[in-house]
Amino acid sequence: MTDTQLAVDIRGITKRFPGVVANRDINLAVAQGEIHAIVGENGAGKSTLMKILYGMQRPDEGTIAVDGVAQDFRSPTDAIEVGIGMVHQHFMLADNLTVLENIVLGNEPRRGPLLDVAESRRRINELAETYGFPVHTDDLVERLGVGERQRVEILKVLFRGARILILDEPTAVLVPQEVDELFKNLRELKREGVTIIFISHKLDEVLSIADTITVIRAGTTVDTVDPSEVTARQLAELMVGSELPTPETRESTVTDEVELDVQGVTIRTDEGRALIDDVTFRIRRGEVVGIAGVEGNGQHELISALLGTHPIDAGTIRLGDTDIAHWSTRDRREAGIGYIPQDRQREGLLLSSPLWENTMLGHQGRPPFARGRWLNLKGAHRRTEQTIAEFDVRTPNADVAAYSLSGGNQQKLIVGREMTAGPSMLIAAHPTRGIDVGAQAAVWEQLRQARAAGLAVLLVSADLEELIGLSDTLLVIYRGRIVAQLDPAIVTAQELGSYMTGAHAGSEASA
């Protein structure tokens, strides 16, 4: 029997956070028993929307209707009751418990005080058979591979009676064969009448599995399309926006001297999966090399390899003339590698320490912060005040603790400290994340000036405007490999988007 009622009907959802509008007037119509994909870049607003649908956040405006009934979720429990289940990108499984235990936890079939293992097993196997993915209920989860763990997560929500599944970037951690397995399972689920909402940025996969695709960009719905009527290129264009900022015409400051030479760098997991694979590129003095790519495609590992916090399995890294692949992080920092981390709180700041102690971080061995073994407090204060002034860090003085600053000012401080330390090479990961537009422009200007003075910069960013505007060379990273080297002055939105999302691999020949 065909249901004309929508499984999920979202209208006009708006959600604001301090300083940013995550969702703006979003509409989403998911039909019963279909696989509906939601695509968009990082920061486009997909996760927020899903959190709202799952009851983890409440919208500021708009309505949600499930199976035709209006809903107001106050917590995930409400959503679960209505039959919505969410499989998170980061699995919530206890490694040391069995599959069965993980699935039934919190909803255990009981026999008095006992856990009714037999009944649990029966119900799980029933579900597993109905939906076609076998599981060994008595295996410890830690023995399971990633694909199997995902199946356990899916069974977890099915066990609680979910008929509408939300999958958040399910293929982010899977290898191709596991992806095929997953899609088989999803089709089986669909056959049994389950509705699936599938969030992803991998266009090739989305095109192969989805019945309907909704594209979200900058917090709002851009379009809803039928996969059979659209190409990957077109999708990418929708995702990324057909308007790309035009880079300012400027003189090239790129010199011939190679500052950083990376050849064939590879990092593998213990199981042999390559996190970065045969990465090769060069950065010359006065050049900004931008790395575009959706988060999670190896950027973080590449940075760790360059900083020395993660050993590499193959390849060489040369800074100037020397192979630094075996150097300690300390030696690399002292040799002049600067670092603007992407997670400022986790890697960039000592939150409970005063600002002047934060400007020393990463540079504590050299003047003006230290003289030999001894710290130079005056020097540190002076440099901090200089940084605060030059980079417009809003703070009463240099002695307040870092946690008192707003996120944007923290970021400005970090950028300032790295730049004033006079690096020979700068790794900048999302350097203007969380900063207001004015500050962003100031940082860009600083980067340009430094580049003109001969700095070599590796820029990793999700902000296409930033990448296009600052880079001299644009590389695209996808699944750990450099898949394209593009000229930012002439690259089109479709091209960039399609490389970033892997759509380029299976699409028609380029024009």
Partner 1 sequence: MDLLRRIALALAAPVLAVVFALAVSSVFLLLADASPLEAYSSMWSYGTRSDSLISMVNRAVPLYISGLAVAIGFKMGLFNIGVEGQYRIAAVGAAAVGASVTLPPLLHVPLILVTAVVVGMAWVAIPAVLKVTRGVHEVISTIMMNAISVGLTAWLLANYLDRRSSETSLILSTGLIPESGRFPSLNPVLEWLGLELRTGSNLQGFVVIAALLGVAFYVVVWRTRFGYELRASGVNASAALVAGVNPKAMVLKTLFISGGLAGLVGMSQLLGFSYRYTTDFPVMYGFNGIAVALLGRNHPFGIALGALLFGFMDRSAQILDLEGIPKEIVVIMQGVIVISVVVAYELVRRYRQDQEQRAVTRELAATEGGAGAAAAA
Partner 2 sequence: MTSPVESPPPPVTAVRAGFADQLAVLTRFQRALLLAMGGVFLLSVTRFVADTPELTSSGTSGAALRLGIPIGLAALGGLYAERSGVVNIGLEGMMILGTWFGAYGAWQFGPWWGIVLGLAGGAAGGLIHALATVTFGVDHIISGVAINILGAGVARYLSVINYDATTGGGATQSPQITTKIPLVDVPFLAGGDLFGWSTPDLFGWFEDSGWFLLADVGGILKGFTSNLSLFTLIAVALFPFTAWFLWRTRLGLRLRSVGENPTAAESLGIPVYRMKYLGVTISGAMAGLAGAFLAIVAANIYREGQTGGRGFIGLAAMIFGNWMPFGAAAGAGLFGFADALQLRSDAAIQALLLFVALLTGVFAVRAAIQRRVVPAALLAVTSAGFLTWFIVSDEVPRQFVQFTPHVVTLLVLGFASQRLRPPAADGQPYRKGESR
Contacting positions for partner 2 (CB under 8 A): 76-77, 90, 92-97, 101-102, 105-108, 110, 113-115, 117
CA angle centred on 433, ends 502 and 281, rounded to 5°: 45
Task: Using CB under 8 A, pick the residue from 55, 362, 469, 497 that binds partner 1.
Answer: 362
Task: Using CB under 8 A, pick the residue from 349, 415, 467, 474 that binds partner 1.
Answer: 349
Distance CA 265, CA 359 (A): 31
Q: Which two tokens stand for residue 314?
A: 């193959």
| Least spacing, CB of residue 140 vs partner 2, in Å | 10
94 binds, among partner 2, partner 1, none (CB under 5 to 8 A by kind): partner 2
Distance CA 184, CA 176 (A): 12
| Least spacing, CB of residue 390 vs partner 1, in Å | 16
Question: Which residue lies nearer to partner 2 by CB, 113 or 372?
Answer: 113
114 binds, among partner 2, partner 1, none (CB under 5 to 8 A by kind): partner 2
Is the link from the previous residue into 76 a cis peptide, with omega within 30 of 0? Answer: no
Ordered strands of the 473-478 beta sheet: 337-340, 425-429, 456-461, 288-292, 473-478, 481-486
| Least spacing, CB of residue 17 vs partner 2, in Å | 16
Give yes or no for residue 23 binding partner 1 (CB under 8 A): no
Distance CA 397, CA 385 (A): 8
Q: Return the residue matching tokens 């207001």.
A: 436
Question: Which residue lies nearer to partner 2 by CB, 107 or 208?
Answer: 107
Give yes or no for residue 226 binding partner 1 (CB under 8 A): no
Q: Assign 3-class secondary structure to 89-129.
A: CCCCCCCCCEHHHHHHCCCCCEECCEECHHHHHHHHHHHHH
418 binds, among partner 2, partner 1, none (CB under 5 to 8 A by kind): none
Give yes or no for residue 69 binding partner 1 (CB under 8 A): no
| Least spacing, CB of residue 462 vs partner 1, in Å | 14
Question: Which residue lies nearer to partner 1 by CB, 436 or 445?
Answer: 436
Give yes or no for residue 218 binding partner 1 (CB under 8 A): no
Q: Which two tokens stand for residue 129?
A: 């058979």
Residue 196, beta-bridge partner list? 35, 165
Question: Which residue lies nearer to partner 1 by CB, 233 or 332?
Answer: 332
Beta strands in 320-467 (DSSP E): 322-323, 337-340, 370-371, 374-375, 425-429, 456-461
Question: Which residue lies nearer to partner 1 by CB, 140 or 351?
Answer: 351
Among the residue ranges 80-88, 171-179, 257-265, 432-440, the one whose residues contact partner 1 (CB under 8 A): 432-440
Question: Which residue lies nearer to partner 2 by CB, 65 or 117?
Answer: 117
Among the residue ranges 208-216, 260-268, 374-382, 481-489, the one whose residues contact partner 1 (CB under 8 A): 374-382
Distance CA 172, CA 85 (A): 19
How much of the chain is in helix, strand and coil states, percent to nearest 5? 35, 25, 40
Give yes or no for residue 14 binding partner 1 (CB under 8 A): no
Q: Which two tokens stand for residue 493?
A: 């939105």
Task: Using CB under 8 A, pick the residue from 79, 80, 210, 360 that binds partner 1.
Answer: 360
Distance CA 16, CA 84 (A): 24
90 binds, among partner 1, partner 2, none (CB under 5 to 8 A by kind): partner 2
CA angle centred on 196, ends 6 and 51, rounded to 5°: 90
| Least spacing, CB of residue 94 vs partner 2, in Å | 4
Strand 212-217 and strand 35-39: the pairing is: parallel
Question: Which residue lies nearer to partner 2 by CB, 82 or 105?
Answer: 105
375 binds, among partner 2, partner 1, none (CB under 5 to 8 A by kind): partner 1
Among the residue ranges 28-36, 92-100, 292-300, 364-372, the one whose residues contact partner 1 (CB under 8 A): 364-372
Q: What is the CA radius of gyration of the chain?
A: 25
Task: Using CB under 8 A, pick the residue from 63, 75, 255, 328 that binds partner 1.
Answer: 328
What are the residues whose beta carbons fall under 8 Å from the beta carbon of 142, sequence distance 6 or more?
95, 96
| Least spacing, CB of residue 105 vs partner 2, in Å | 5
17 binds, among partner 1, partner 2, none (CB under 5 to 8 A by kind): partner 1
Closest CA to 7 of 170, 197, 226: 197
Q: Give the distance, in angstroms, between the CA of residue 468 and the centroid of all CA atoms in the same chain.
A: 19
Phi, psi (5° rounding) for residue 126? -60, -50
Q: Identify whether the C-beta of residue 358 lies closer than 8 Å to the C-beta of residue 402.
A: yes
Task: Using CB under 8 A, pick the residue from 5, 246, 404, 485 that binds partner 1.
Answer: 404
Which of the 8 DSSP states describes residue 270? Answer: T
| Least spacing, CB of residue 116 vs partner 2, in Å | 9
Among the residue ranges 34-42, 203-211, 212-220, 326-334, the one whose residues contact partner 1 (CB under 8 A): 326-334
| Interface contacts to partner 1, rule CB under 8 A | 17-20, 307, 309, 328-334, 339, 341, 346-353, 357, 360-362, 364-365, 370, 373-375, 377, 394-396, 400-401, 403-409, 433-436, 439
